[in-house]
Amino acid sequence: MPERVILSIGTKKGLFVAEAAKPRRSFGLRGPFGSGVAVYTALIDTRGKPRLYASSCNPFFGMKVLLSTDLGKKFQETKSAPAFPKGDGRALANIWSLEAGDDKKDMWCGVEPASLFRSSDGGDSWEMVPGISNHEHARKWQPGNGGLCMHTILRDGQRVHVGISTGGHYVSEDGGETFTASNKGVGAGFAPDPYPEFGQCVHKIAGHKDAPGRLYMQNHGGWGEWDGPGGRRPDIGVLRSDDHGKTWRSIAKGLPSDFGFPIVVHPHDADTVYVMPLEPMTRTCPGGAPAVWRSEDGGDSWQRLARGLPKKESFFTVQRDAMDVDDVKSPALYFGTTTGQLWIGRDGGEEWSCLFDSLPPIHCVKVAVV
Amino acid sequence: MTITIHLPAALRACCEGARELSLSAPSVRAALEEIERRHPALYRSICDETGTVRRHVNLFVNTAHVRDREGLDTALAPGDVITILPAVSGG
């Protein structure tokens, strides 16, 4: 079977799946699956026969994990969703991240309230990972506007990074047994201490498989005008680490705003990174003119990519998991908006066009070539 | 003491499409415990892992909301009907 580009699009009203032949000239759409129920994360698991997972976050009847083994033609619930152990006192409020693990059925899942779960049977059963879920800081983390969520899980052998809003960046060096807060250089604008040990509102962390020491972070920026205790703290929103997240430094200079949600790394070049700057107060496109910004030198300089995007009167938000990039030789970027448009940026974001313009508000976009 | 549980359409897939369940229980709490034993997926849709009835799920005994009776300790009589309904919402 020729290679296909598959998009999983999580929306306020269920999951959509889009598919195209590899040239990506046109995409067909199917769905919604889990209709009427919000989907905040999806995973296209390409280990062996492709499996599509999605969280189904039902405010009425609780959280489910959806699974498709036929590239998104039909979905069914796995046998169970993550759940806190009896007596823990916490109850699952949302599922924010699903990531593939080591062997074919190993999976990781980040949830709200911020905790980590792991499955060894492809999502049919789950166990809480106590090293981070019961970390001594865990009961001190505070919910951000989107809830107290573990939204990022990055794995590199025995090293596991997690991102928590609002908790910060934590890393494990022993396969998830123990975790340490690792936020040196990660600022917080909403606390008197501008650089606390933990508690930062990390929005997203991204890495590159061929350069595991290099990490990029979209942190909660927009504090350049702050004049309260602790002093000004500009440019804390976009950061880079070159030592596996031990230390971080700002790479926000040159961007129109250091506030945003997603951050994405080019699949073939760890120095190329993409962000979507937003106005910090409204969390919408600066001046009503959306643009993705790209750096090809690890964040030292930035270029605006907006050809084909609206030039005015566009005030949407792109949420933390609503931008992704495929790994075709000349990759395409994709982002979904809170106003229900799904955009494709061909040739690495040089030329944009709208694939679907009237979907429900989009929470997440994931792409894979299968 | 047999009572009836009436299920909304959204939850029938948790118990092989059944519209109603019959079981014996002296209280709403005991009825939920029996549901947990027989139909764990249905129970997880009604209660979270702390045992709390989900915020947007309403339980009625006959026509009375359990919050207007004795909550989960509301006593049941033979022939009572527990109706499970999602809360009304928009958006």
- Domain total in chain A: 1
Cβ atoms B89, B62 nearer than 8 A: no
CA–CA distance, A44 with A10 (Å, rounded to integer): 12
pLDDT band (50, 70, 90) for residue B91: low
Q: Which of B14, B15, B42, B50 has the highest number of chain A CBs within 10 A, making it the mutation to test binding with A?
A: B50
Q: Is B50 in the A-facing interface, judged by CB distances under 8 Å? A: yes
Q: Which residues pair with B20 in a beta bridge?
A: B6
- pLDDT at residue B10, rounded to an integer: 86
- The predicted-structure confidence for A162-204, as pLDDT tens digits, reads as follows 999 989 999 999 999 999 999 999 998 877 788 999 999 999 9
Token pair, residue A322, equals 């609503």
Q: Which of B42, B44, B53, B56 has the highest number of chain A CBs within 10 A, making it the mutation to test binding with A?
A: B44
Contact A92 B48 (CB under 8 A): yes
Q: What is chain B's length?
A: 91
Q: Is B44 in the A-facing interface, judged by CB distances under 8 Å? A: yes
Residue B27 has pLDDT above 80, yes or no: yes
What is the number of CB-based contacts under 8 A between chain A and chain B?
Answer: 40
Question: No. of H helices and E strands in chain A?
Answer: 2, 28
Cα radius of gyration rounded to whole Å, chain B = 12
Taking CA–CA distances from A58, the nearest residue in chain B reads: B45
Q: Is B88 in the A-facing interface, judged by CB distances under 8 Å? A: no
pLDDT band (50, 70, 90) for residue B89: low
Residue type, A215: L
Q: Is the overall model pTM greater than 0.80, yes or no?
A: yes
CA–CA distance, A37 with A10 (Å, rounded to integer): 10
Q: Is A83 in the B-facing interface, judged by CB distances under 8 Å? A: yes
Q: How many CA atoms lie within 13 A of A6 on its CB side?
A: 24
Contacts of B42 in chain A (CB under 8 A): none
Q: List the end-to-end C-alpha distance of chain B, in Å, as a whole number.
A: 41
Strands (DSSP E) found in A69-208: 76-77, 94-100, 107-112, 115-119, 127-128, 149-156, 159-165, 168-172, 180-181, 202-207
Q: What is the DSSP letter of B72?
A: G
Cα radius of gyration rounded to whole Å, chain A = 19
Q: ω before A280 within 30° of 0 (cis)?
A: no
Tell me which residue has tokens 């009825």: B31
Q: ω before A277 within 30° of 0 (cis)?
A: no
Q: Is B11 in the A-facing interface, judged by CB distances under 8 Å? A: yes
Q: Which of A12, A61, A95, A124 has the highest number of chain B CBs within 10 A, making it the mutation to test binding with B?
A: A61
- Render the burial of A123-153: b for 16+ CB within 10 Å, e for the rest: bebbebbbbbbebebbeebeebebbbbbbbb
Residue type, A278: L
Token pair, residue A99, equals 């990531």
Cβ atoms A263, A251 nearer than 8 A: no
Minimum-distance CB partner of B49 among A60, A61, A84: A84
CA distances from A306 to A161, A237, A260, A349 (A): 32, 21, 16, 8
For residue B70, give the CATH number of its domain: 3.10.20.30
| Full domain range(s) for residue B69 | 2-86
**DSSP-derived 3-state class of residue A230:** coil
| Full domain range(s) for residue A163 | 4-369
Tens of pLDDT along chain A (370 residues) come to 679 999 999 999 999 999 999 889 999 999 999 989 999 999 999 999 999 999 999 989 999 999 999 999 999 999 999 999 999 999 999 999 999 999 899 999 999 999 999 999 999 999 999 999 999 999 999 887 788 999 999 999 999 999 999 899 999 999 999 999 999 999 988 777 889 999 999 999 999 999 989 999 999 998 877 766 677 788 899 999 999 999 999 999 999 999 999 999 999 999 999 999 999 889 999 999 999 999 999 999 999 999 999 999 999 999 999 999 999 999 999 999 999 999 999 999 999 999 999 999 999 999 999 9
CA–CA distance, B77 with A69 (Å, rounded to integer): 47
- Nearest to A352, CA basis, from A302, A321, A314: A314
For residue A107, give the CATH number of its domain: 2.130.10.10
CA–CA distance, A262 with A216 (Å, rounded to integer): 10
- pLDDT at residue A271, rounded to an integer: 98
Q: What residue spans of A39-171 are helical by DSSP H?
A: 130-133
- pLDDT at residue A90, rounded to an integer: 96
Cβ atoms A53, A72 nearer than 8 A: no
Q: What is the DSSP letter of A133?
A: H
- pLDDT at residue A225, rounded to an integer: 73
Is residue B91 in a domain? Answer: no
Tell me which residue has tokens 């350069």: A211
Q: Is A181 in the B-facing interface, judged by CB distances under 8 Å? A: no
Cβ atoms A79, A90 nearer than 8 A: no
- Domain total in chain B: 1
- Within a 10 A sphere around the Cβ of A216, how many other Cβ atoms? 25
Greatest Cα-to-Cα distance within chain B, rounded to the nearest angstrom: 41
- pLDDT at residue A190, rounded to an integer: 75
Provide the mean pLDDT of chain A.
95
**DSSP-derived 3-state class of residue A301:** coil
Cβ atoms A63, A57 nearer than 8 A: yes
Give the gap in angstroms from C-alpha B85 to the nearest C-alpha of chain A.
Answer: 10
- pLDDT at residue A10, rounded to an integer: 98
Minimum-distance CB partner of B48 among A62, A80, A85: A62
Contact B48 A88 (CB under 8 A): no
Token pair, residue A2, equals 């020729």
Q: Is B39 in the A-facing interface, judged by CB distances under 8 Å? A: no
- Within a 10 A sphere around the Cβ of A199, how many other Cβ atoms? 20
